[in-house]
Structure 1
């Protein structure tokens, strides 16, 4: 009996030790491509799902229930001679303690996504060289997801993952693909990870921790304290906005969080929302209609 129990325990330990970090749904949408044979897009979709979900991205031991819920929607708008052109929408969630709720933490559409792919070609990533823009972009966003998730659980916990993403940016600088260089315009992969690692944006990462660990994780047990912590996070964002108005990371945050913030402050225990809504309208004016729903 004892041997049997030890065997079961060993199996469980192995399951947890080798469980991957992400539970990611990758979708390849080819509706805009005028092509009868869609098999290559289905093959690509399956290969990407396997690549993202079956790769061990960190040295952490992760149980299946701890895997990060996320998605990547790749929309192909042009395809010819193994060259794909389109966009990628990346989203990730984070569980809230003592609830079944998944809090959205990242929501961004990268419009500079082109790559070469031959059907059934294996997908791999070399951390020391640039070999494929497809795996480089996907891997870059995997590390962004891991980093932002870690930041919500511990102060600046995502730094090692952001540095991995930054390393990919460095390798891709001379690739000729758009989105990797500072000169490629606004809202690039270069700018995103540069912001995340810059000391100028330290308020953003602290606010990310306070919002989730001190705020959302207390929403079930102490909603008043949770709301106060979330409102305090908005003050940190306001401070950052005064230095870097309309920054990439702030826009990405509110793209993911606007509905959640409105819902949190539209019910339950009342807190002072006058200053809160003023701050929200100042730092995220694009969502003024959403903020108007916050009422006593």
Structure 2
């Protein structure tokens, strides 16, 4: 009887683990620019991607539904011809703020190097050792990047294993002729994102993610002033990164995600010394100078 019960417990545990997903992603495929929006393949692609991302087990974590990472993927198909797609992909993710009902944006990136082939009802499967398609590799790359950045906000450099998994995808995808996977593909490529995340030159960037979110936002509910001070500290850390690697894709993505949030944080509540913060923000992200001008000090 004891062996039987142990067997049942083991079986239930395995089933629970196998059914545990980590991602809650809203995926949209738009095809207006193709002039062929009536084709069913675009809806089929959207459904297939939704199932691929949300029903796959990307990690060994056993998460409850409310713990799943919220993200969105918007694919804009600009050209379509005989199962060949030319598109852009916009990827966004967020994480909850402790003691709050709101979430904080983590990642916001638009990838313009996204061409792929897809046959209607084609099965989408991820294998870290095999390149099956640019569609699977690109989506999988962004899922592991999202997982890595999310983990980085909860513990210092906590997303290392996910960024390393993304690197495996980069290395495997380089056997294809698709853009975005090589150093020669520019400073906004998937290669560059991953290379920077795993570079010692950007370790302080990832540490700043932890300081900003875990030591900053997550303590707002108990000590707003201390939380704001930690966010000031994190912005100084980012300035140090920018001094060494100005206008990096990671910093651009950070401020694309965070500009409204940062403006809101410093526009009310307990006052902290922010003159230097505004100077740092204008230096790192002049594109958002209008937002920074609304921060008063």
TM-score > 0.5, shorter chain as reference: yes
Offset at 1:14? 5.6
Does the Cα contact within 8 Å between 1:28 and 1:41 map onto a contact in 2? Answer: yes
User: 1:207 maps to which residue?
Assistant: 208
TM-score normalised to structure 2 length: 0.94
Separation of aligned partners in 2, 1:15 and 1:103:
29
User: 2:255 maps to which residue?
Assistant: 254
Cα shift readout 1:247-283 (whole Å, capped 9, x = no counterpart): 1111111110011000011011111111110111111
Offset at 1:113? 0.4
Specify whether residues 250 and 28 from structure 1 end up closer, same or farther in structure 2 by C-alpha distance, changes over 3 A only.
same
Specify whether residues 36 and 257 from structure 1 end up closer, same or farther in structure 2 by C-alpha distance, changes over 3 A only.
closer
Specify whether residues 36 and 30 from structure 1 end up closer, same or farther in structure 2 by C-alpha distance, changes over 3 A only.
closer
Does the Cα contact within 8 Å between 2:77 and 2:88 map onto a contact in 1? Answer: yes
Offset at 1:187? 0.5
Cα shift readout 1:144-173 (whole Å, capped 9, x = no counterpart): 000000000001110000001000100111
Does the Cα contact within 8 Å between 1:16 and 1:63 map onto a contact in 2? Answer: no
Separation of aligned partners in 2, 1:236 and 1:109:
25
1:47 aligns with 2:54: no
TM-score normalised to structure 1 length: 0.94
Does the Cα contact within 8 Å between 1:17 and 1:63 map onto a contact in 2? Answer: no
Offset at 1:96? 0.3
Does the Cα contact within 8 Å between 1:89 and 1:110 map onto a contact in 2? Answer: yes
Separation of aligned partners in 1, 2:68 and 2:13:
16
User: 2:36 maps to which residue?
Assistant: 35
User: 1:4 maps to which residue?
Assistant: none
Offset at 1:16? 7.0
Offset at 1:37? 2.9
User: 2:3 maps to which residue?
Assistant: none
Specify whether residues 286 and 191 from structure 1 end up closer, same or farther in structure 2 by C-alpha distance, changes over 3 A only.
same
Does the Cα contact within 8 Å between 1:17 and 1:62 map onto a contact in 2? Answer: no
User: 1:294 maps to which residue?
Assistant: 295
Specify whether residues 176 and 13 from structure 1 end up closer, same or farther in structure 2 by C-alpha distance, changes over 3 A only.
closer
Separation of aligned partners in 2, 1:54 and 1:35:
29
Measured on the aligned residues, the alpha-carbon RMSD in Å equals 1.6
User: 2:141 maps to which residue?
Assistant: 140
1:93 aligns with 2:94: yes
Does the Cα contact within 8 Å between 2:21 and 2:68 map onto a contact in 1? Answer: yes
Does the Cα contact within 8 Å between 1:16 and 1:64 map onto a contact in 2? Answer: no
User: 1:3 maps to which residue?
Assistant: none
Specify whether residues 97 and 66 from structure 1 end up closer, same or farther in structure 2 by C-alpha distance, changes over 3 A only.
same
User: 1:234 maps to which residue?
Assistant: 235
- Deviating 4+ runs (over 6 angstroms): 10-13
User: 2:80 maps to which residue?
Assistant: 79
User: 1:267 maps to which residue?
Assistant: 268
Does the Cα contact within 8 Å between 2:18 and 2:57 map onto a contact in 1? Answer: no
User: 1:171 maps to which residue?
Assistant: 172
User: 1:20 maps to which residue?
Assistant: 21
- Secondary structure of the structure 2 residue equivalent to 1:190: helix
Separation of aligned partners in 2, 1:78 and 1:215:
44
- Secondary structure of the structure 1 residue equivalent to 2:253: helix
Does the Cα contact within 8 Å between 2:74 and 2:89 map onto a contact in 1? Answer: yes
Does the Cα contact within 8 Å between 1:265 and 1:294 map onto a contact in 2? Answer: yes
